[in-house]
Protein backbone atom coordinates (compact mmCIF):
# COMPACT_ATOMS: atom_id res chain seq x y z
CA UNK A 1 0.00 0.00 0.00
CA UNK A 2 2.78 2.39 1.06
CA UNK A 3 4.44 1.62 -2.24
CA UNK A 4 1.63 3.40 -4.05
CA UNK A 5 0.99 6.18 -1.58
CA UNK A 6 4.51 7.63 -1.65
CA UNK A 7 4.70 8.17 -5.42
CA UNK A 8 1.15 9.48 -5.35
CA UNK A 9 2.04 11.98 -2.63
CA UNK A 10 5.18 13.05 -4.53
CA UNK A 11 3.10 13.50 -7.65
CA UNK A 12 0.53 15.61 -5.81
CA UNK A 13 3.23 17.82 -4.26
CA UNK A 14 4.87 18.34 -7.65
CA UNK A 15 1.54 19.01 -9.32
CA UNK A 16 0.69 21.63 -6.70
CA UNK A 17 4.05 23.37 -7.16
CA UNK A 18 3.73 23.33 -10.94
CA UNK A 19 0.14 24.59 -10.82
CA UNK A 20 1.15 27.47 -8.55
CA UNK A 21 4.14 28.18 -10.81
CA UNK A 22 1.93 28.32 -13.89
CA UNK A 23 -0.29 30.92 -12.30
CA UNK A 24 2.49 33.18 -11.07
CA UNK A 25 3.14 36.33 -13.05
CA UNK A 26 6.88 36.93 -12.93
CA UNK A 27 6.36 40.28 -14.66
CA UNK A 28 4.44 41.59 -11.68
CA UNK A 29 6.87 42.33 -8.95
CA UNK A 30 5.26 43.21 -5.62
CA UNK A 31 5.85 46.87 -4.99
CA UNK A 32 7.46 47.76 -1.69
CA UNK A 33 5.75 51.18 -1.88
CA UNK A 34 2.21 50.26 -0.89
CA UNK A 35 1.20 52.25 2.19
CA UNK A 36 4.38 54.29 2.11
CA UNK A 37 4.72 57.98 1.41
CA UNK A 38 5.18 58.88 -2.23
CA UNK A 39 8.90 59.56 -2.74
CA UNK A 40 9.82 63.22 -2.99
CA UNK A 41 10.67 64.87 -6.25
CA UNK A 42 10.85 68.35 -7.65
CA UNK A 43 10.50 68.12 -11.38
CA UNK A 44 9.91 70.59 -14.22
CA UNK A 45 6.50 70.58 -15.86
CA UNK A 46 6.39 69.42 -19.45
CA UNK A 47 4.40 72.42 -20.63
CA UNK A 48 6.19 74.94 -18.44
CA UNK A 49 9.73 73.75 -17.68
CA UNK A 50 10.45 76.79 -15.51
CA UNK A 51 7.75 75.66 -13.06
CA UNK A 52 8.36 72.72 -10.78
CA UNK A 53 5.97 70.28 -9.19
CA UNK A 54 6.48 68.43 -5.90
CA UNK A 55 4.24 65.84 -4.20
CA UNK A 56 3.63 68.43 -1.46
CA UNK A 57 1.76 70.57 -4.03
CA UNK A 58 -0.72 67.74 -4.42
CA UNK A 59 -1.47 67.16 -0.74
CA UNK A 60 -5.15 67.10 0.08
CA UNK A 61 -6.24 65.43 -3.11
CA UNK A 62 -6.28 61.95 -4.49
CA UNK A 63 -4.11 61.65 -7.58
CA UNK A 64 -2.99 59.09 -10.11
CA UNK A 65 0.66 59.10 -11.00
CA UNK A 66 0.96 57.59 -14.45
CA UNK A 67 4.39 56.85 -15.90
CA UNK A 68 4.40 57.25 -19.67
CA UNK A 69 6.65 57.93 -22.62
CA UNK A 70 6.15 58.62 -26.30
CA UNK A 71 8.47 55.68 -27.14
CA UNK A 72 6.35 53.27 -25.11
CA UNK A 73 4.09 51.10 -27.22
CA UNK A 74 1.80 49.89 -24.43
CA UNK A 75 1.25 53.51 -23.40
CA UNK A 76 -0.44 54.05 -26.74
CA UNK A 77 -2.82 51.19 -25.95
CA UNK A 78 -3.51 52.66 -22.53
CA UNK A 79 -3.97 56.23 -23.68
CA UNK A 80 -7.68 56.17 -24.74
CA UNK A 81 -8.56 54.64 -21.35
CA UNK A 82 -6.81 57.49 -19.56
CA UNK A 83 -8.57 60.03 -21.80
CA UNK A 84 -11.92 58.52 -20.82
CA UNK A 85 -11.00 58.54 -17.17
CA UNK A 86 -9.94 62.17 -17.42
CA UNK A 87 -13.33 63.11 -18.90
CA UNK A 88 -15.08 61.70 -15.84
CA UNK A 89 -13.18 64.17 -13.64
CA UNK A 90 -13.03 61.57 -10.90
CA UNK A 91 -9.42 62.10 -10.01
CA UNK A 92 -6.42 64.25 -10.71
CA UNK A 93 -4.04 62.57 -13.16
CA UNK A 94 -0.37 63.47 -13.01
CA UNK A 95 1.90 62.14 -15.75
CA UNK A 96 5.54 61.26 -15.31
CA UNK A 97 7.08 61.64 -18.74
CA UNK A 98 9.81 59.05 -18.31
CA UNK A 99 13.09 59.23 -20.25
CA UNK A 100 11.53 61.06 -23.14
CA UNK A 101 12.20 63.96 -25.49
CA UNK A 102 10.02 66.93 -24.48
CA UNK A 103 9.27 67.64 -28.15
CA UNK A 104 8.18 64.07 -28.88
CA UNK A 105 6.15 64.00 -25.66
CA UNK A 106 4.27 67.22 -26.48
CA UNK A 107 3.61 66.00 -29.99
CA UNK A 108 2.18 62.77 -28.59
CA UNK A 109 -0.22 64.67 -26.31
CA UNK A 110 -1.25 66.98 -29.16
CA UNK A 111 -2.15 64.12 -31.46
CA UNK A 112 -3.60 61.59 -29.00
CA UNK A 113 -5.19 63.94 -26.47
CA UNK A 114 -3.95 64.98 -23.06
CA UNK A 115 -5.52 63.19 -20.10
CA UNK A 116 -3.05 64.71 -17.64
CA UNK A 117 -3.81 67.64 -15.38
CA UNK A 118 -0.07 68.09 -15.43
CA UNK A 119 2.91 66.11 -16.70
CA UNK A 120 6.38 66.36 -15.28
CA UNK A 121 9.64 65.45 -16.96
CA UNK A 122 12.08 62.79 -15.82
CA UNK A 123 14.57 62.80 -18.64
CA UNK A 124 17.35 60.88 -16.90
CA UNK A 125 15.05 58.43 -15.15
CA UNK A 126 15.95 59.35 -11.56
CA UNK A 127 12.38 59.86 -10.38
CA UNK A 128 11.62 56.56 -12.07
CA UNK A 129 14.24 54.84 -9.94
CA UNK A 130 12.83 56.46 -6.79
CA UNK A 131 9.41 55.05 -7.67
CA UNK A 132 10.82 51.61 -8.53
CA UNK A 133 9.68 51.94 -12.15
CA UNK A 134 10.86 49.02 -14.26
CA UNK A 135 8.27 48.83 -17.01
CA UNK A 136 6.34 51.66 -18.57
CA UNK A 137 3.42 52.27 -18.20
CA UNK A 138 2.94 52.10 -14.47
CA UNK A 139 0.23 53.77 -12.46
CA UNK A 140 0.25 54.69 -8.79
CA UNK A 141 -2.79 55.73 -6.78
CA UNK A 142 -1.85 58.25 -4.10
CA UNK A 143 -4.19 59.39 -1.34
CA UNK A 144 -4.83 62.78 0.21
CA UNK A 145 -2.03 62.34 2.71
CA UNK A 146 0.48 61.58 -0.02
CA UNK A 147 0.60 57.84 0.67
CA UNK A 148 0.81 55.33 -2.19
CA UNK A 149 -2.17 53.02 -1.88
CA UNK A 150 -2.00 50.99 -5.07
CA UNK A 151 0.31 50.31 -7.96
CA UNK A 152 -0.59 48.95 -11.36
CA UNK A 153 2.12 47.66 -13.69
CA UNK A 154 1.48 47.60 -17.41
CA UNK A 155 -1.31 49.24 -19.40
CA UNK A 156 -4.51 50.02 -17.53
CA UNK A 157 -7.54 48.45 -19.21
CA UNK A 158 -11.16 49.60 -19.16
CA UNK A 159 -11.86 46.65 -16.88
CA UNK A 160 -9.13 47.74 -14.44
CA UNK A 161 -10.66 51.21 -14.32
CA UNK A 162 -14.14 49.88 -13.56
CA UNK A 163 -13.18 47.15 -11.14
CA UNK A 164 -10.14 48.55 -9.36
CA UNK A 165 -9.39 52.21 -9.95
CA UNK A 166 -12.83 53.84 -9.68
CA UNK A 167 -13.89 51.99 -6.49
CA UNK A 168 -10.51 52.70 -4.89
CA UNK A 169 -10.60 56.37 -5.91
CA UNK A 170 -14.13 56.75 -4.52
CA UNK A 171 -12.99 55.21 -1.26
CA UNK A 172 -9.94 57.45 -1.03
CA UNK A 173 -11.93 60.59 -1.92
CA UNK A 174 -14.23 59.81 0.99
CA UNK A 175 -11.33 59.64 3.44
CA UNK A 176 -10.70 62.75 5.45
CA UNK A 177 -7.32 64.40 5.32
Partner 1 sequence: MKRFLFIFLLLLSCSSYALDYRQLPDPKQQETYETLTKELRCLVCQNQTIADSNADLAADLRRQVYEMLLQGKSRQEIVQFMTDRYGDFVLYKPAFKGKTSILWIAPVIFLLTGLITVFLFIRRKKAAANLRSQTGALETDAEKQKKIRSLLEKGDPS
**What is the closest distance, in whole angstroms, from the C-beta atom of residue 172 to partner 1 in the complex?**
23
Give which of 67, 70, 74, 76 is closest to 122, Cα–Cα: 67
Complex with partner 1: residue 127 or 141, whichever CB lies closer: 127
The footprint of partner 1 on residues 11-30 (CB under 8 A) is: 26-27, 29-30
Give which of 131, 161, 135, 139 is closest to 71, Cα–Cα: 135
* Separation between Cα atoms, residue 131 and residue 138, nearest integer Å: 10
Complex with partner 1: residue 71 or 144, whichever CB lies closer: 71
Residue 130 near partner 1 by CB under 8 A: yes
Cβ pair 122, 43 in contact under 8 A: yes
Residue 99 near partner 1 by CB under 8 A: yes
* Separation between Cα atoms, residue 98 and residue 32, nearest integer Å: 20
**What is the closest distance, in whole angstroms, from the C-beta atom of residue 9 to partner 1 in the complex?**
12
**Mask of contacts with partner 1, 103-122, x by CB under 8 A?**
--------------------
Complex with partner 1: residue 149 or 172, whichever CB lies closer: 149
Complex with partner 1: residue 99 or 149, whichever CB lies closer: 99
* Separation between Cα atoms, residue 82 and residue 88, nearest integer Å: 10
Residue 140 near partner 1 by CB under 8 A: no
The footprint of partner 1 on residues 28-47 (CB under 8 A) is: 29-33
Is residue 5 left, alpha or beta, with left meaning phi > 0 and alpha meaning psi from -120 to 50? alpha
- Which residues are paired to 45 by β-bridges? 120
Radius of gyration of the chain (CA): 20
The footprint of partner 1 on residues 37-96 (CB under 8 A) is: none
Task: Report the interface residues with partner 1, using CB under 8 A.
Answer: 26-27, 29-33, 99, 124-126, 128-135
Amino acid sequence: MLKYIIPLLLFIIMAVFLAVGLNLKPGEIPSPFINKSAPEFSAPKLNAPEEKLTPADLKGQVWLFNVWASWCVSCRAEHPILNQLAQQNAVMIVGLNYKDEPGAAKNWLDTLGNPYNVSIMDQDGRIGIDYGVYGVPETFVIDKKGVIRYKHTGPVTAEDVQQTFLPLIAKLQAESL
